[in-house]
Chain A
Amino acid sequence: MSQTRDQYAAEVVASIPLCQEHWKLVLHLQHFPTTAPGQFVQVACRDLELNYSQEQDLDWADDQPVQIDHAELSQRLAFLRRPFSLAGRRDSAGGVEIDLIHRVVGMGTDWLSRLKPGQKVQLIGPLGNRHTLPGQKSSDEAVAILVGGGVGIPPMIYLASQLAGRKAVAFCGAVTRNLLPLTITNAAVAPTATSIEPLYNIEEFATFGIPAVISTDDGSYGYQGFVTQALERYLDRYFMDEPARGRAIIYTCGPEVMMKRVAQIAEARRIECQVAVERAMACGMGTCQSCVIRVKKADPAAAPMPGSDWCYRLACTDGPVFLSTDLLW
Chain B
Amino acid sequence: MDLSRLGAFVTKSITLEERPGNEPTRIVETRAGMLNAIGLANVGLQRFLKEKVPLLQKMPCPVIVNVAGHSVDDYTSASAAMDSLECVAGVELNVSCPNVKDGLVFGTDPKRLRSLVTEVKRVVPTKPLIVKLSPNVDDITATARAAVDGGADILSLVNTFTAMAVDINTRKPRLANVTGGLSGPAIKPIALHLVSRVYRSVAQSAEVPIIGMGGIQYWQDAVEFILAGASAVAVGTALFVDPATPNKIVDGLNQYLIEQKVDDLADLVGTLRLP
Closest-by-CB residue of B relative to A44 is B241
State the CA gap A279–B28 with chains docked (Å).
Answer: 11
Q: Are A312 and B20 in contact (CB under 8 A)?
A: yes
Closest-by-CB residue of A relative to B217 is A52
Q: Are A72 and B185 in contact (CB under 8 A)?
A: yes
State the CA gap A249–B43 with chains docked (Å).
Answer: 34
State the CA gap A2–B61 with chains docked (Å).
Answer: 23
State the CA gap A281–B241 with chains docked (Å).
Answer: 12
What are the residues of chain B within 8 A of A44 when measuring CB–CB?
Answer: 241-242
State the CA gap A41–B91 with chains docked (Å).
Answer: 35
What are the residues of chain B within 8 A of A20 when measuring CB–CB?
Answer: none
**Total number of residue pairs linking A and B with CB closer than 8 Å:** 91
Q: List 23 A-B contacts (CB under 8 A).
A: A48-B241, A51-B218, A52-B219, A54-B220, A55-B189, A79-B31, A79-B32, A79-B33, A81-B240, A280-B28, A282-B27, A285-B243, A287-B12, A288-B36, A288-B38, A289-B12, A289-B38, A290-B27, A303-B18, A303-B47, A305-B18, A305-B20, A312-B21
Given contacts A283-B240, A289-B12, whether A80 and B34 have CB atoms under 8 Å apart is yes
In the assembled complex, the CB of A297 is this many whole angstroms from the nearest CB of chain B, namely 12
Place the interface of chain A in its size category: 35 or more
What are the residues of chain A within 8 A of B242 when measuring CB–CB?
Answer: 7, 44, 48, 122
State the CA gap A122–B239 with chains docked (Å).
Answer: 14
Can you name 17 extra interface pairs (CB under 8 A) apart from A282-B36, A287-B239, A304-B47? A52-B217, A72-B32, A72-B185, A79-B31, A79-B34, A79-B185, A122-B242, A282-B34, A285-B243, A288-B36, A288-B38, A288-B240, A289-B38, A290-B26, A293-B24, A305-B18, A312-B21
In the assembled complex, the CB of B272 is this many whole angstroms from the nearest CB of chain A, namely 15
Given contacts A79-B241, A124-B243, A280-B28, whether A304 and B34 have CB atoms under 8 Å apart is no
What are the residues of chain B within 8 A of A58 when measuring CB–CB?
Answer: none
Any B CB within 8 A of the CB of A114: no
State the CA gap A78–B18 with chains docked (Å).
Answer: 34
Given contacts A79-B34, A80-B241, A305-B20, whether A280 and B25 have CB atoms under 8 Å apart is yes
State the CA gap A304–B33 with chains docked (Å).
Answer: 31
Binding site for A on B (CB under 8 A): 12, 18, 20-21, 24-34, 36, 38, 41, 43, 47, 184-186, 189, 217-221, 239-244
In the assembled complex, the CB of A209 is this many whole angstroms from the nearest CB of chain B, namely 39
Interface residues as binary, A286-311 with B (CB distance below 8 Å gives 1, 0 otherwise): 01111111000000000111000001
Closest-by-CB residue of A relative to B21 is A289
Any B CB within 8 A of the CB of A93: no
